[in-house]
Homo-oligomer: A and B are copies of this chain.
Amino acid sequence: MARPPQDLLQGTLDLLVLKTLSWGPAHGYAIARWIQQLTGQVLDVGEGSLYPALHRLEERGWVKSEWQLSPNNRRAKFYQLTTRGRQQLRTETASWTEFVDAVGKVLRTTTQPT
């Protein structure tokens, strides 16, 4: 009933994934675990959300993928940012900041505007 931070994930997943990939190439499973770990379980990216997102990003030309072997000797599809993806990351980061600031303005307001 109480809205968990989960539901806020909307529209932010792409940004999160792009940012994660800016640290270097990675495969999906690792991305999900890093985000979860970094945020202390606050953000839990389900695989059912992540893989579609990854495919979406690839289709838009922001990432490209390549099959490789993970450090654990398992086959894994490694994703890496493209040039356009890097540009997109900048754009989305800026939008995110602008958005958070805007919401912050409303949350900090205590009296009715005239």
Contact = CB atoms under 8 A, between A and B. Distances in A.
Interface in A91-114: 91-93, 95-96, 98-103, 105-107, 109-113
A72 to B, nearest CB: 14
A35 interface: yes
A48 B97 CA distance: 25
A7 interface: yes
User: In which size bucket is the chain A interface?
Assistant: 35 or more
User: What secondary structure prevails in chain A residues at the interface with B?
Assistant: helix
Contact of A112 (B16, B24, B39): B24
A34 B26 CA distance: 43
Contacts of A107: 15, 19, 93, 96
